[in-house]
Every structure is written in structure tokens, then in C-alpha cells.
Amino acid sequence: MKTFIIKFLLLLGVASYASIAFAQSPNIKLIKVQNPRFNSGVQIGDVLQRSVALEVNQPYTLSKTDLPAKGRSADGIELKDITLAATKAGDKNRYTINFSYQVFAVASKPVRMQLPKEILKFNANANPLAAEIPAWTFWYAALVPENIENAKKMMYPQHHPEIVNITSHQTKLCAFLALLTFGLLGLFYINADGHLLPFMNGAFAQAYRRIRKTPKSLEGLKEASIYIHQALNKTHGTNLFADDIEPFINKNPKFSKLKDEIYAFFEQSNALLFASSAMYSEQHFGHLLKLSKRLRDCERGA
């Protein structure tokens, strides 16, 4: 194998040298060889342009009869068109030759192809010259994959996509939404100041709303106390006095955490309503407002 590679490289070197020999004739000067820009992805029907420009010393002229014939076809490459432009520049003739090749090869997988080498001949009186335009290789790309088959063979019976079981997710979502709704309703129920629903209009809720609208004065302070008394009476079912607080708490245990505050309220209220030395106090008013709100929260089971 190694020997083969060495031989191949030697042959390639000799061939290159011959080509260069043509090009290196002092009477011929190769100015330009322009091949297609891409050497891959070429498909059937594609047209590949190749342009060659060269100068020859006079008296040499290009032999037009030796130009490749239009329509020549070999190895899947057809010379579709060839144009020649000749000019004179001093003692030199300049030629520009455009080759148009069209690919007609058929293959089911990529194939290495080439634009054929072209030999241009120049005549003079005695010693003709030839210039060889080397071949240009490229990769032919198949239009369809090699293993393409009839679509019918590739068809599968139609299946519904597998349905993911979302019952547990639905259950969790419903539970979450129910909890969320319940929580929001609870917060709304506990904190709402208005009586948007009938069960939000408890005795202490009413008292709280009325106290908030009560003017901040001694008379207002007395009224605020009265509102709380009225709410206590309403909740208890009969008049509630300091001696009845214990039975009241036993009857309404949801107020048990405010037992001490209720006792304190009765003391303050008695002093306010029945003692001659009652005075207005902003702090007292705020305390009544706060107490009525806390009683309302208890009433709503917060």
C-alpha cells in the first residue's frame, strides 16, 4: 500500500510538471482560470461556468477548429456552450474562453465528478503550441437519499398520541383552588369592614362600624361604649353586666381570649358612663375601636 501511494504521488508530480510545461511556454501566458465557486452540492441540471484568459505571442493564434465542440458529452458532463473573445494587444493575442457545462449525471449518493481538462491549440507557421486547462473536480450531490423507498412502505397505522394521566394533577389543582378560594373568602369574611353578606353583619361588626363614624369627643366616647354594650347585650341575649361576664364567656367561648379585656371594658365603661369625673381620652377612644374590632374578629371566628 505504501508503495502504491508513492507511485501515485510520483505520477501526479510528472503530470503536474507537463501541465506546467504547457503553461510555462514562453509564447503562452495563462492569465486566469476561473472555476465555479463551489465544488460540492452540485446536482443534475446545474450549469457550471468556467472561464480561461491567456495571451500568446504572435504569430500564434488560437485554433478555433480545435476548440471542444458544443454539445460534447462525457461522464455525465455536457459542454452546453462555449464562447470566445479575442483581442490584440501589441504583439500578443489575448483570448478569453467561457465554458458552460451542464451536469446530467444520475447517482443516489454523492459522487466525485470533474469538468474535463481542455486542450487549446495555437497555430503558427511551423511549430504549433498547446495549452492544457486542467480538469476541475467537484462533488455531485444526489437529489434524493439512496435508500428512499415508497412512502407507502414507511406508513405506520395511525395511533392517538398517548394521553398523559392528569387526574391527580387535576385533583391537586382543584384542591388548591378550593383552598385558595376558601382562604380568600375567609380573609374577606374576617377582615371586611362592610356587611356585604348577611352573616357579616354581626353585633360587633355593627358596633365597630358605628364607632368608626362616632365623633371623637366625650359624648362620642360614651356612645362608643354604649355600642359595645349593645353588642354584648345582643350577643348574650339579655343585658350583660360585669357580674355576668363569666356566664357570657361560658355561653360564647369564642370570646374567651378577650375575657380580661371585657372585664377591663366594664370597669372603664362604668367609670365613663356613671362617674362624674369622666373625661375624653384619645387613647380610650382608640382602645374602644380596637376592642370592638377584636370582638368582631372573635365573632367571625378569627
Partner 1 sequence: MQITNFDTNLADWRAHALKLESEVKKVIVGQDKAIHLMNIAIFARGHVLLEGGVGVGKTTLLQSIARCIGGDYERIEGTVDLMPNDLIYHTYLGEDGKPKIDEGPLLKAGENLSVFFFNEINRARPQVHALMLRVMAERHITAFKQEYRLPHMVVFADRNQVEKNETFEIPSAARDRFMMEIPINIPDDRELRKALMFDVKFQHAESLTKQVEPNVLKFDQLNAFSDVLQSHIKSSNVLEEYALDLWESTQSPEKFGIKLDSVDVNRLIHTGASPRGMGMLLKAARVNAWLMNRDSLYPEDIHAVFHELIAHRLVFNTMYENRRTALARELTSQILATVAVPSQAKAA
Residues of this chain that interact with partner 1 (CB under 8 A) are 222-223, 225-226, 229-230, 233, 238-239, 241-243, 270-271, 273-276
> Rounded CA gap, 245 and 240, in Å?
7
- Closer CB to partner 1, residue 132 or residue 223? 223
As measured in angstroms, the least distance from the Cβ of 277 to partner 1 is 8
Give min distance, CB of 188 to partner 1, in A: 31
The answer to whether the CB of 268 falls within 8 A of the CB of 281 is no
Measured from the Cβ of residue 186, the count of other Cβ atoms closer than 10 Å reads: 13
In whole angstroms, what is the distance from residue 49 CA to residue 125 CA? 33
**Rounded to whole angstroms, how far apart are CA atoms 226 and 238?**
15
How near is the Cβ of 228 to partner 1 at its closest, in Å?
9
Task: Return the number of the residue (189 or 280) whose C-beta is nearest partner 1.
Answer: 280
75 vs 246, beta carbon nearer partner 1: 246
- Side chain identity, residue 76: G
Closest separation between CB of residue 288 and partner 1, Å? 13
Q: Kindly list the distances between the CA atom of residue 29 and the CA atoms of 55, 56, 116, 131, in Å, as whole numbers in the listed order.
A: 5, 6, 21, 9
* Of residues 56 and 232, the one with the C-beta less far from partner 1: 232
Residue closer to partner 1, measured from CB, 136 or 241: 241
Q: What region, left, alpha or beta, does residue 76 occupy, with left being phi > 0 and alpha being psi -120 to 50 degrees?
A: left
Q: Report, in Å, the least distance between residue 235 CB and partner 1.
A: 14
